[in-house]
Structure 1
Amino acid sequence: SEKMSPWIKELIKEINEISEKNISELSCIMERMGIDKAIIPEWIEVVKDRISETYKGILDEANELQEKLISSIEELLQRSQELCKQLHVKMPLYGSNNLSLGEEKALLNSRIAEYEALIKNRLYKLHTLKKRQNEACKSLGVEPITIPESPLPTMEEIDSFSSHVESLENEKFKRETEFLQIKCKILDIVQELGVKPSLEIEKTICSPDHSLFIVTDCNMNFLDDYYHSLIQRKLQTENEISRLKGTVCSLWKKLDENIKATNEFLQNHTGNSLATLEAFQQEVKRCEHLKRANIEKFIKTIREELASLWEKCHFAAAERESFEYFNDHLYTEDLLTFHEIEVEKMRRYYEANKDILTMLEKREEYWKRKTVLEERESDPYRYKNRGGTLLKEEKERNGLTKKLRGMDLELLGIARRYEEQNNKPFMSWGRTIPDIIKKTREEYEMSKKQHLSTKKQQRTLTPTSVKSGFLGSTLSGSKGNLLTSTSAPSTPTASNYKHKLPLTPLFSSNKKKSHLKEVPIIKLNDKTLTQQIKRKSAVQKKKIRYSNEKKKRIEKIRRLSNMLREKKKFNETMNYDSFENSLIEKPSCRSTLFHGYTSHLAEPKHQLQTV
């Protein structure tokens, strides 16, 4: 009784009260009826049987309800098992939590509702993915993947299927984007060429409705082929129009057509449409007809062009004579055709070898410039510059030598490759490139030797002129120099010359000073002349830099200096009187070099003193 639930105790209490009340009332009825006491036990048994039957009926109904509940739970367990199988999940362990049958049923119903919701959502997602796949596959022209609904796919399978559908949709979007881009280009080309699509699929591509074109593999391949064919057609049309335009302009020039009419034709036929192409083709036919009527004039004009091409291609007389029709005077269409073929061949030759020809011409220019610079080395007055011209020429000459050396190596390499490709050497004015380079070097060396030999002979035959030039170049080079402004001296006497003025060396350094001997010159009263000469020498020392070529010139100056020292008679015959008279006759020299002593120069000769 201690383990009884409160409601059971309460029920028992209420049943006892009901039993007590009803039995009391039954006993009263039996007493009023006067039932014999011997029969009372029978009544009691009857009452007890009736009460037992009542409880038995109640218990039977309760058991029946319990059996129904158990059956319902069993059905729910079976349904739960099926749902777990569809969802590919493990079935929970029921009845392990000491729950009543009603609680177990409620738990089962809750779990089943969750499972059914999951299956419903999964099926909805699967149906949606299938629909998207069908649309993408229809656009791409591929077969869809079949995925069954029973058993229900796992989440991993659905996710994989979703990725597949997304890849199909991405491919569809990519192709549609590509289609729109190519379509815009196709429409531009079609409009530019002025053509109309002929095939049904071409019309679909050019249609304003983009959805008519299905981006299948076959259609995309056709789209690509169609686009590239239009590009090729456009390029061919452009090249053909360009070629015909050049032909027409050449024919107009040869036919001496009206410039106003030709300009009007070009203005009316611009672009690269097929109509423009046809117009140029018709114009070429018209001009060709006129050309045949003026064939002699055409042949003479084309011969001038051919001669110009021969010059540009460095063709020698022997190579030109290989075209035997150049001097033919029987003017026929065949002769014109031969000339046109030859001109076209020469044009192709020139375009193919333009770089070699240009390099050869540039090389010739460099050699000419180098020759001019080296010829200036023999000029005795080139050392009188005050603007650094000597140094600039030296740098330019060294640069040209370096460029020519590299250019020769490059030309030899080009000539070797040309001979390997064409099985014949490259010719320029009838000579190969190695012969040209070798000949140029030989002529240069021979010219240099002849120049040195000529200079040596001149020094041997005319030493006086060399010394005079050296002296003049040494003491000249500034404004108002006395020696350059004097007139030709008369025959001097030894008594008139008393002093010597040291010759200013053109190139000097601490190491070279001891080798350059002083040359007797004239000294005057004013020390300004000597200081000016020294300043000029210092400036020249700073400006002039040494090089191999300059060292050679220094050696030449040494030899000249030795020659002057050995010919003392030249200095002893200098006429100071003639120098003085020339100085008095030129006021500009006095004012420049003898500032402050002009009054003394105006006095008689005996007042000038020597120092």
Structure 2
Amino acid sequence: MSCRRSEALASSLVTEINLAMAKLVDIWDSIGIMEDQRVERMQTVKKHIDGLLHSMIMEEEALRHRIKTDIFTSQKQLDTLCLELALEPYKLEEGLTVLQLEKNLRCHVESLQKEKDDRMRELNDLSKRDEKLCVTLCATPYYIPTGSVPSRSQLQELQEHVEKLNKEKEGRVKVFSGLREDIKCLMDEMGHEPESSLEKDSICPDADIFLLTHDNIKALKLLLSQLEMKKESLISAKDKLKERATSLWNRLSCPEPEGEAFREAAMSTLSDDIRRWRGIVEHLEEMQMAQLEVVIDKVRQELVVLWDKCMFGPEQREPFDIHFCDETTEELLAVHDEELLRMKAVYETAQPILEDLEKWKRNWAFFQEFERKAADPARFSNRGGSLLRESKDRAKVQKLLPKLEEELRGQVEDWENNKSTPFLVYGQRVMDFISGQWEEHRQQKDKEKNERMTKKAETSQFKTPTKRPLGMMCAASTPTPKKVKKTPSQLAPRSATASAGSSTSSTSSSSTFLCVPGRPPLSTKRNKTAESSAGPRTPLQEFNSDKKPVPMSYTDFTSELSRKASFDAFLNSTVRDML
């Protein structure tokens, strides 16, 4: 259809030219223009028409050339954009005219150029934010080659990097704010004036004065820890001054007006409070100098109390005895104060062991008291269930003592390993002291037992026989059908001397006491006493010999007591209760 219209337009153009020339000829005829002039005029018309057509042809040729150039340029731009944007090369469609090809290429180039511009604009914005955050945080910027067009994945990674830096910045700002606030509070609490540039910058109201770097955070943390240590030092100094003032106040028995200073409220800062307590101490020390003799005497009393608490023996107290002189000087007071501080430090260091040792001593006293009660026959009256309570308490103490001894052993070993020196109580090591207590207890038990045996033997030997009624003697002459239980003296083997002595005693007394029913002869008791005196040596005799006593513990003591009755082992009330 379009071809027909163009052909029709071309035909109409020729027709119009012919009509125009015919009109020109008619005009020339009517005017009377000669042939030569007509030819000249027709040549002019032809020249105009040829020039116009040539001009139009040139313009169209230029248009065609320009379109081809645009196609070539667009093709190159398109290839470049596809390469920069990391896209697949653009494939041209077949069967397109030059104008269609130029239009398609131009539109595609415009689309890719817009994509490139959007990416570069986003890259520019993200790069600025990333650069600013990296400067603030002293971090490494996200690397994208200069002049290159970033891909969508690179822009996404850059966006995530910026968001991560933002979160890091928020966290560091929070840390910085907390550190600076803590530093400011500590300085205000201590009354500390900033000295270094870091201290001045840390309390500066300008929040942007610090770069949020790890080094700056470390510097602020270090400053905070130093200020905390200084605060602890000031608190310790204040406590020492307060303790010193309290000690002096108690020593001097100051009147009530002097004690008003102790009830005053603390000052606004630690430095001011320290200055106040230092003034109080200086005032009390001046008062102390005025009554040296009384003060030194009180310090000595405190020393004796601490020595008792630390369980010092005479050998440990002796080195300081030379300072217990009548001369009262400031130097002597200083020596006493130094010794008092040393003893306080010793007591504070050894307090856990000393407390456990005091606990052991209390339970040891309970144990000895139970042993004493066990030998008292009156305890069987059992009024109000006292015997049952005593048995339960004794079992508890017997269970607790070895446990305390093991705990003490471990504590003392740790202390001695750390201090590389023995832990002494009353001049001897702890376990030696405990073993000595057990050994002393064992010797006391053996001594009491030997005394009872000696007393019993004397009573049996010198007892005067009483006269029995005649009926009892006659009744005893008839044999009784009951079995008579043999006495230990009849069962146990006896030596020749003991047998002879007991035979004589039995013969002399059988005529008098043999008739008594249900009672063993007196010779039995005498034989038993003789056997005991001629038998194995008692623990007391062992102790009185040249052999040194072997240290004992609660376990050794109970293992000895837990043996069954024999002539080689002795029982006490504790074993009887256990059996």
Q: Same fold (TM over 0.5)?
A: yes
2-side partners of 1:81 and 1:373: how far apart? 109
Matches of residues 100-179 of structure 1 in structure 2 within 5 Å? 100-141=97-138, 147=144, 149-179=146-176
> Contact 2:190/2:271 (CA < 8 Å) preserved in 1?
yes
What CA distance in whole angstroms lies between the structure 2 residues aligned with 1:208 and 1:554? 79
Q: Answer whether contact 1:238 1:272 (CA < 8 A) is retained.
A: no
Q: Which residue of structure 2 lines up, in the alignment, with residue 571 of structure 1?
A: none
Q: What is the deviation of 1:92?
A: 0.6
- Verify the 8 A CA contact 1:123 1:149 in the aligned structure 2: no
1:13 to 1:363, Cα distance in 2 relative to 1, 3 A:
same
CA distance in 1, matches of 2:136, 2:224: 21
Matched, 1:91 2:89: yes
Q: CA–CA distance in 1 between the matches of 2:128 and 2:20? A: 80
For residues 102-153 of structure 1, the C-alpha deviation after alignment (integer angstroms, 9 at most, x for no partner) is: 2222221221122121121112122212321332234335676775542323
Q: CA deviation at 1:14?
A: 6.2
Q: Contact 1:237 / 1:272 at 8 angstroms: preserved in 2?
A: no
The residue identity in structure 2 corresponding to 1:69 is I
1:124–1:18 Cα change, 3 Å: closer
Query: What letter corresponds to residue 67 of structure 1 in structure 2?
Result: H
Give the Å deviation of 1:400.
Answer: 1.4
Alpha-carbon distance change, 405 to 29 in structure 1, aligned in 2, over 3 angstroms:
closer
Q: Does 1:8 align with 2:6?
A: no
Determine the structure 2 residue equivalent to 1:287.
284
TM-score when scaled to structure 1?
0.64
**Per-residue deviation, residues 307-328 of structure 1 (Å, max 9, x unmatched):** 1111111112232222133421
2:186 equivalent in structure 1: 189
Alignment of 1:396-411 (within 5 A): 396-411=393-408
Deviations 1:572-593 (A, max 9, x none): xxxxxxxxxxxxxxxxxxxxxx
Q: CA 1:387/1:256 → structure 2, altered by over 3 Å: closer, same or farther?
A: closer
Partner of 2:316: 319
Q: Kindly tell me: are residues 217 and 443 of structure 1, through their superposed partners in 2, closer, same or farther at Cα, counting changes over 3 Å?
A: closer
Quote the residue 2:365 is aligned against.
368
TM-score with structure 2 setting the length? 0.68
Within a 5 Å distance, the mapping from 1:67-466 to structure 2 comes to: 67-94=65-92, 96-141=93-138, 147=144, 149-217=146-214, 219-270=216-267, 273-380=270-377, 382-383=379-380, 385=382, 389-450=386-447
Return the offset for 1:218.
5.1
Cα 1:259–1:325 shift into 2, 3 Å? farther
Q: How far apart, CA to CA, are the structure 2 residues paired with 1:77 and 1:197?
A: 70
Change (3 A) 1:408 1:271: farther
1:82–1:228 CA distance, 2 compared to 1 (3 A): same
Say how many residue pairs are matched.
Answer: 456
1:53-92: CA deviation from partner (whole Å, max 9, x where unpaired)? 8999987765553333222211211222232233233321
Deviates more, 1:218-227 or 1:67-76: 218-227
**Cα deviation code 1:219-265 (max 9, x no counterpart):** 43432232222112111110000000010111122223223332245
Structure 2 residue identity aligned to 1:140: L
Deviation of residue 178 (structure 1)?
0.9
> Which residue of structure 2 aligns with residue 43 of structure 1?
none
Instruction: Summarize deviations over 1:350-397 as a string: whole Å, max 9, x none.
Output: 111112222222112112212222333344454454765444432322
Do the aligned residues in 2 keep the contact of 1:303 with 1:326 (CA within 8 Å)? no
Task: Structure 1: state its 5+ residue gaps.
Answer: 1-5, 34-45, 464-490, 495-518, 520-547, 558-611
Residue pair 2:68, 2:98 contacting (<8 A) in 1 also: yes
The one-letter code sitting in structure 2 at the alignment partner of 1:71 is T
Q: Compared with structure 1, are the counterparts of its residues 428 and 556 closer, same or farther at alpha carbon in structure 2 (3 Å cutoff)? A: closer
Q: From the superposition, tell whether residues 98 and 384 of structure 1 become closer, same or farther in structure 2 (CA, over 3 Å).
A: farther
Q: Is the Cα–Cα contact under 8 Å of residues 80 and 111 in structure 1 kept in the other structure?
A: yes
Q: Are residues 191 and 550 of structure 1, via their aligned partners in 2, closer, same or farther at CA, if it must alter by over 3 Å?
A: farther
- Paired residues for 1:574-589 under 5 Å: none
CA separation of 1:18 and 1:120: change in aligned 2, threshold 3 A: closer
Q: Cα 1:429–1:412, aligned 2, differ >3 Å: closer, same or farther?
A: same
Q: Percent identity?
A: 24
Q: 1:350 to 1:61 in 2, by over 3 A?
A: closer
Cα-Cα RMSD: 4.1
Distance (whole Å) between structure 2 residues aligned to residue 416 and residue 82 of structure 1: 85
List alignment gaps of at least 5 residues for structure 2.
30-42, 461-468, 473-517, 519-561, 566-570
Shift of 1:300: 0.8
